């Protein structure tokens, strides 16, 4: 387990494409700029798991402060393990490494958010001891056809 | 969500078998532990056997043994054998045409059901056994 390097990016893009069926190179380049080496000082972490010198998994997370009154906590928002490398504890090791970095930042709570039909990843986080938290995700379709020229500041 | 009695008996039983997968456990032992009717439990165990979650052993001692994979079998796999997950609209008992109130209530009840199903789907028996160990180590956690 170690922090991502620029040379890992091709492998990360390929791994994500293999798992999701969609190559998103521009997206991963933006994620690397935000969460790669430059992000570490701001409590953003992009970790990769290596086996035989090859990237077989990655996990990304960051410390977020005071969202809707919630004290600082460690958010995990991306996890992929190559299908052929699963059931070997790689996700567990990635989560342990990320958790350790959060602990070093003084964070004592770990949080994530994912689709409720994503049974594979939900089961993984459950197996790590995660339970439903106090936040409830909500969403809505925005009404069509309402022109709005002014930027709206989000309320927190 | 309130689970039916048979569903709870099935969950108790499956957890007992999964906690000690090599042992053949007599139905009477589970019935006594949870204070339930052996006759009632037999029907539940027959359903679990039919689904391949447990297998019965004949002969002296007899009993049942866990036959599934603790890391794959989820609470939902067990629960759906005994519960009806029909959408709220299908569960309405009267024959009248649904009103806007009915439809709005259906939407809210469906939301609750979907969250419950996602929770049951994400918890394997292995995770359940970990949760039980945590409760033993720290009751009330």
Full DSSP string of B86-101: --HHHH--S-SPP-HH
| H-only helix segments in B73-141 | 75-79, 88-91, 100-122, 125-137
B69 touches chain A (CB under 8 A): no
Domain that holds residue B132: 5-84+125-137
Domain that holds residue A25: 2-127
Query: Model pTM?
Result: 0.83
**Residue A152 is assigned to a structural domain of this protein:** no
Rounded to the nearest integer, the mean pLDDT of chain B is 90
CB B24 within 8 A of CB B61: yes
Closest CA to B16 of B79, B71, B72, B63: B63
**What is the tens place of the pLDDT at every residue in B67-120?**
999 999 999 999 999 998 877 777 666 777 889 999 999 989 989 999 999 999
CB B49 within 8 A of CB B56: yes
Counts for chain A of helices (H) and strands (E), in that order: 4, 5
Q: Is A145 helix (H, G, I), strand (E, B) or coil?
A: coil
Tally of domains in chain B: 1
**Residue B113 is assigned to a structural domain of this protein:** no
Cβ within 8 Å, pair A127-B118: no
- Residue B70 DSSP one-character state: T
> Considering only alpha carbons, which residue of chain B is nearest residue A125?
B122
Q: Could you give the CA distance from residue B14 to residue B78 in angstroms, rounded to a whole number?
A: 8
Instruction: Show residues of chain B in contact with A116, CB under 8 Å.
Output: 114-115, 118
| Residue written as token pair 């933006």 | A30
**What is the tens place of the pLDDT at every residue in B50-64?**
999 999 987 666 799
B72 touches chain A (CB under 8 A): no
Flag whether pLDDT at A2 surpasses 80: yes
Beta bridge partners of A138: none
For A130-148, letters b (16+ CB in 10 Å) and e give beeeeeeeeeeeeeeeeee
Sorted by sequence, the CB contacts under 8 Å of residue A74 that are 6+ apart come out as A61, A62, A63, A98, A99, A102, A105, A107, A109, A110, A111
Closest CA to A81 of A2, A12, A6: A12
**Residue B66 is assigned to a structural domain of this protein:** yes
**Residue B116 is assigned to a structural domain of this protein:** no
If phi over 0 gives left and psi between -120 and 50 gives alpha, with beta otherwise, what is residue A129?
left
Q: What is the mean pLDDT of residues A71-79?
A: 93
Instruction: Show residues of chain B in contact with A112, CB under 8 Å.
Output: none
The distance of B22 to chain A (nearest Cα, Å) reads: 22
B118 touches chain A (CB under 8 A): yes
**Residue B98 is assigned to a structural domain of this protein:** no
Closest CA to A48 of A32, A59, A33: A59
Cβ within 8 Å, pair B124-A117: no
B134 touches chain A (CB under 8 A): yes
Which CATH number does the domain housing residue B36 bear?
Answer: 1.10.10.10
**Residue A146 is assigned to a structural domain of this protein:** no
B110 touches chain A (CB under 8 A): no
Tell me whether strands A73-81 and A110-112 are parallel, antiparallel or unpaired.
parallel
Q: Could you give the CA distance from residue A72 to residue A75 in angstroms, rounded to a whole number?
A: 9
Q: Could you give the CA distance from residue A25 to residue A31 in angstroms, rounded to a whole number?
A: 10
Interface test with B, best of A115, A120, A127 (most B CBs within 10 A): A127
The distance of A79 to chain B (nearest Cα, Å) reads: 16
% pLDDT > 90, chain B: 67
**Residue B14 is assigned to a structural domain of this protein:** yes
Which CATH number does the domain housing residue A114 bear?
Answer: 3.40.630.30
Q: How many residues does chain A have?
A: 156
User: Cα dist. B95→A66, A106, A114 in Å?
Assistant: 50, 59, 39
**What is the tens place of the pLDDT at every residue in B2-38?**
799 999 999 999 999 999 999 999 999 999 999 988 8
Q: Could you give the CA distance from residue B4 to residue B81 in angstroms, rounded to a whole number?
A: 11
**Residue B78 is assigned to a structural domain of this protein:** yes
Q: Is B124 helix (H, G, I), strand (E, B) or coil?
A: strand
**Residue B19 is assigned to a structural domain of this protein:** yes
**Residue B18 is assigned to a structural domain of this protein:** yes
Interface test with B, best of A88, A126, A127 (most B CBs within 10 A): A126
Flag whether pLDDT at A107 surpasses 70: yes
Tally of domains in chain A: 1
B111 touches chain A (CB under 8 A): no
Q: Could you give the CA distance from residue A101 to residue A74 in angstroms, rounded to a whole number?
A: 9
Per-residue model confidence (pLDDT) at position A134: 85
């Amino acid at each position: 387990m170690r922090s991502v390097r620029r040379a890992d990016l091709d492998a990360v893009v390929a791994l994500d494409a293999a798992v999701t069926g969609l190559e998103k190179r521009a997206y991963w380049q933006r994620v690397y700029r935000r969460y790669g080496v430059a992000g570490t000082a701001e409590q953003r972490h992009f970790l990769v798991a290596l086996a035989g010198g090859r990237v077989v998994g990655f996990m990304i997370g960051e410390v977020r402060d005071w969202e809707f009154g919630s004290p600082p906590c460690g958010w995990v928002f991306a996890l992929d393990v190559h299908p052929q490398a699963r059931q070997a504890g790689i996700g567990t090791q990635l989560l342990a490494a990320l958790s350790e970095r959060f602990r070093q930042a003084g964070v004592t709570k770990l949080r994530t958010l994912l689709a409720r039909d994503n049974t594979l990843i939900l089961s993984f986080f459950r197996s790590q001891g995660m339970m439903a938290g106090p936040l409830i995700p909500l969403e809505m379709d925005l009404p069509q056809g309402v022109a709005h020229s002014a930027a709206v500041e989000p309320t927190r | 969500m309130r689970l039916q009695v048979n569903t709870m008996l099935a969950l108790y039983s499956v957890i007992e078998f999964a906690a000690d997968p090599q042992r053949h456990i007599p139905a009477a032992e589970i019935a006594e532990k949870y204070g339930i009717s052996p006759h009632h439990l037999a029907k539940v165990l027959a359903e679990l056997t039919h689904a391949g979650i447990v297998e019965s052993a004949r002969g002296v001692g007899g009993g049942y043994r866990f036959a599934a994979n603790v890391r794959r079998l989820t609470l939902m796999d067990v629960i759906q054998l005994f519960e009806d997950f029909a959408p709220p609209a299908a569960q309405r008992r009267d024959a009248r045409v649904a009103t806007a109130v009915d439809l709005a209530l259906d939407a809210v009840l469906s939301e609750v059901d979907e969250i419950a199903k996602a929770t049951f789907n994400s918890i394997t028996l292995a995770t359940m056994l970990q949760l039980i160990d945590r409760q033993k180590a720290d009751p009330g956690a």
